[in-house]
Amino acid sequence: MPIELLKETPSQTAGPYVHIGLALSAAGNPPRDQEIWNEMAKPGAPGEHILLLGNVYDGNGHLVRDSFLEFWQANHEGQYDADFNLEKPFNSFGRTATTFDAGEWTLHTIKPGVVKNAAGVLMAPHINVSLFARGINIHLHTRLYFDDEAQANKACPVLNLIEQPQRRETLVATRCEVDGKLAYRFDIRIQGEGETVFFDF
């Protein structure tokens, strides 16, 4: 068929099926033997082990209980590892999803080191986040920074691209403690008051 006769297919959002196909445990299904899931760092991984957790809210302030998130980060020395292997103590890539009951996602990882941008300028420690959810045709990109890295955050060239200082705070996770362990809470607001800053890649 000549290309000029082909029509664009309708767009489709990342509906509730993401749990069924990509987040089996969150959907109450048995996990596969090899599952990219929410444990980026095993107990033996070098670096400072942390728990990340949060909720996802829609424009009305309601919990999005079936969203799916992917994370990409450097290790504790600021190096990305593109050679994914579930047997390794640490992988730079991980996935998680909000639960149907509490609407909360969790991720076990290590605090990333400092990475340079393309111009060689140091960026504050951060984790790249992609969000998939109902009503979103193309997944959203954002970043997670840490509130106990205030000096590095202040100098970060990416955070400084955001003109309104109060909007930068939507990218900063809050240090807390969960069951006696170091944790950071990072809530994502898709629209409305306090909307998270998203990046156009």
Q: Which domain holds residue 108?
A: 3-189
Whether residue 61 is contained in a domain is answered as yes
Position 86 scores a pLDDT of: 86
- Cα–Cα dist 49/140, whole Å: 26
Whether residue 76 is contained in a domain is answered as yes
Whether residue 201 is contained in a domain is answered as no
Q: Which of 2, 181, 188, 178 is nearest to 96 (CA)?
A: 188
* Total domain count, the chain: 1
User: Could you tell me which residues are beta bridge partners of residue 49?
Assistant: 110
Per-residue confidence band for 18, with pLDDT thresholds at 50, 70 and 90? low
Q: Name, in order, each residue with C-beta under 8 angstroms of 138's C-beta and a sequence gap of 6 or more.
A: none
For the stretch 25-50, pLDDT in tens is 766 777 777 677 899 999 999 999 99
User: Quick check: helix, strand or coil at residue 19?
Assistant: helix
Per-residue confidence band for 15, with pLDDT thresholds at 50, 70 and 90? low
Tell me 69's DSSP state: E
Whether residue 199 is contained in a domain is answered as no
Whether residue 196 is contained in a domain is answered as no
- Cα–Cα dist 37/70, whole Å: 9
pTM above 0.85, yes or no: yes
For the stretch 155-178, pLDDT in tens is 999 999 999 999 999 999 999 999
CATH number at residue 166: 2.60.130.10
User: Could you tell me which residues are beta bridge partners of residue 127?
Assistant: 73, 144
